[in-house]
Amino acid sequence: MIFRKVGEEALYVNPADCYSIHWPVCRGHLNIHSGPGGSLTAALADLETIWSHALQKLLEIPLKDLKYYRCILLIPDICNRQHVKEVVNMLLVKMGFSAVVVHQESVCVTFGSGLSSACVVDVGDQKTSVCCVEDGVSHRSSRLCLAYGGSDVTRCFFWLMQRAGFPYRECQLSSKLDCMLLQQLKESFCHLDQDISGLQDHEFRTRFPDSPVLLYQLRLGDEKLQAPMALFYPAAFGIVGQKMTSLLHRSQGDAEDPHDEHFLLTTQSKQDQSSKATTDRKLFPKPAGFEGESNMCDPSEKGNLTQDLDLSHAQAECLVGGADAEETSSALLSRKTAMTQFEGKALGVDKAILHSIDSCASDETKRKMYSCILVVGGGLLFLGAQEFLQHRVLHKMPPSFRRLVENVDVITRPKDMDPRVIAWKGGAVLACLDTTQELWIHQREWQRFGVRMLRERATFVW
């Protein structure tokens, strides 16, 4: 017989019991690995178990009644489309919801906070994402995902406490109960207020199964400030052998969707070539007998002729598009190159924000983003975090924008709400909008058309 425990029940099981703990999500993506429970099918099954438990036990909704409910699925701005497709299929086919809307977390964060535009910084437990949202649209070029979060701050704090003589010597990061204790200590002691200094005495208690409650005392100083500062100096985490910064890349395509973005790009390229050829014929008409003469020329002359035609194409583009088009394309290329050079490197949160905003197309959009930096998630809930981040962004932003931006506003608790639930609040707001009625993907539509419905109904480029 198989017994399943979900949520906190799974975390508080006795380590001596023979349980295998699975984490279906890791670093913001489905946790696919080579160990037990690491296949895509197993991760989806674990996710279905967790959601089914929450619906039945916490919301008191029988699974047989899900056909009367719709759901909002929030996905990361940088995601694996194959995984999103499988999760949507699980919701509509396996769990039996009547309809689903798929939307991006960053956009729903702005909905939940009541802002039209913001640079959204989501500091989670295992990953940190940065994205610029303007009028309900997430800018593709501004999306960054950093492979560190609050749990890495906890590890760093544990290492610093060990150097300071941590009294609980049996503490191990491999123990789930010890990790939860360290998480509580981090939330209680750590801060980003540089006005707090000096050594202070602290105490904490340990409560474990089949063990008495023990009281420990600890004296800490700058360790409480140094641990959360590692979010701005991620080299302190000591994370090696993995990609620290991820950008949004073109999708690999899906065989079930013949009209995906690869098809659209190919079609657009053919249309551009056709229109370019038409323009060339109008601006540079061929002389009489040109085709016959070109067939009689030798290979070296053909090479020269090809170069001349390429030059004519370039001249035609300049005449048709003008200097503005050339400047726009060069600006887009420079922004893309600037972002790509940081891929894989360990960027601090402040630098990630600056690079994300710098990737925006216009100075007006950049000004909006600098004026409103929205921090959500539970990884940066430290005393003084708002002022600390504001100070670092203000002093690292380009000098040219200091005259344009009246004030760098960092928001960590929009409308005095818990920043860990802002995205879900935005999803609830999204479900009530009249415009959302056109975005629902119904079960019958999904069973008939499959992933093509995501391209047709998603409010972002699929």
320 burial type by CB count under 10 A (0-12 exposed, 13-18 middle, 19+ buried): middle
137 lies in the same domain as 70: yes
Over residues 290-300, the pLDDT tens digits come to 344 344 344 34
Please state the rounded mean pLDDT for residues 423-436: 92
- The residue from 44, 61, 78 where one domain ends is 61
pLDDT of 73 over the 90 cut: yes
Report the predicted TM-score, pTM, of the whole model to 2 decimal places: 0.81
In a domain, 310, yes or no: yes
Same domain, 135 and 158: no
Question: Can you list the alpha helix ranges (DSSP code H) found in 413-457?
Answer: 422-432, 443-449, 452-457
Residue 140, phi then psi, degrees to nearest 5: -60, -40
Higher local confidence (pLDDT), 167 or 15 = 167
Spatial separation of the C-alpha atoms in residues 421 and 89, rounded to whole Å: 25
Q: Are residues 444 and 351 in the same domain?
A: yes
418 and 459 inside one domain? yes
Please check the confidence at residue 315 and state whether its pLDDT lies above 60.
no
Instruction: Provide the pLDDT for residue 36.
Output: 87
Residue 385 in any domain: the answer is yes
pLDDT single digits (tens) 242-262: 667 778 766 666 767 766 666
Same domain, 155 and 51: no
pLDDT at 11: 80
Last residue in a domain, options 61, 80, 97? 61
Q: Give a yes or no: residue 248 inside a domain.
A: no
Percent of the chain whose pLDDT exceeds 90? 61
pLDDT value at residue 277 = 67
Instruction: Answer yes or no: is pLDDT of 420 > 70.
Output: yes
Residue 240: inside a domain: no
pLDDT for 346 equals: 80
> SS3 breakdown of the chain: % helix, strand, coil, rounded to 5?
50, 15, 35
- Are residues 173 and 140 part of one domain? no
Domain contains 260: no
Is residue 312 scored above 60 in pLDDT? no
275 or 139, higher pLDDT: 139
Q: Which of the two residues, 215 and 256, has the higher pLDDT score?
A: 215
Q: Which residues contact 425 (CB under 8 A, 6 or more apart)?
A: 111, 112, 113, 417
Q: Is 68 in the same domain as 7? A: no
Q: Hey, what are 360's tokens?
A: 């925006």
Q: What are the E-state strand segments in 243-344?
A: 245-247
Q: How far is CA 356 from CA 109, 368, 452, in A?
A: 17, 13, 30
Same domain, 11 and 114: no
Q: What pLDDT score does 462 carry? A: 80
Question: Which stretch of 33-37, 130-134, 219-223 has the lowest confidence by average pLDDT?
Answer: 33-37
Domain annotation covers residue 292: no
Point out the least confidently predicted range of 327-336, 345-354, 364-373, 438-447.
327-336
CB-based contact 133:139 (threshold 8 Å)? yes
Specify the range with the lowest mean pLDDT, choosing from 62-76, 179-193, 225-239.
225-239
* 362 and 425 part of one domain: yes
Q: Per the domain annotation, does 291 fall within a domain?
A: no
Task: Dump pLDDT digits (tens) for 386-400.
Answer: 999 999 999 999 888
73: CATH:
3.30.420.40
Q: What distance lies between CA 362 and its chain's CA centroid? A: 22
Residue 377 Rama label (left phi>0; alpha psi -120 to 50; beta): left
- How far apart CA 142 and CA 122 sit, in angstroms, is 14
pLDDT band at 185 (very low <50, low <70, confident <90, very high): very high
Query: Which of 50, 12, 14 has its CA nearest to residue 180?
Result: 12
Parallel/antiparallel/unpaired status of strands 441-442 and 137-138: unpaired
pLDDT at residue 17 in the model: 78
Q: Say if residues 43 and 37 touch (Cβ distance below 8 Å).
A: yes
In this structure, the answer to whether residues 125 and 156 fall within a common structural domain is no
Query: Which among 230, 251, 274 is the end of a domain?
Result: 230
Q: Is 425 found in the same domain as 457? A: yes
Is 243 part of a structural domain of the chain? Answer: no
Residue 381 has pLDDT above 90, yes or no: yes
Residue 223 has pLDDT above 80, yes or no: yes
On the CB side of 11, how many CA atoms lie within 13 Å of its CA?
A: 9
Say whether both 368 and 280 belong to one domain: no
Range of the domain at 135: 63-148+345-462
The CATH number covering residue 226 comes to 3.90.640.10
Q: Which of 297, 251, 307, 303 is nearest to 451 (CA)?
A: 251
- Structurally, the chain folds into a number of domains equal to 4
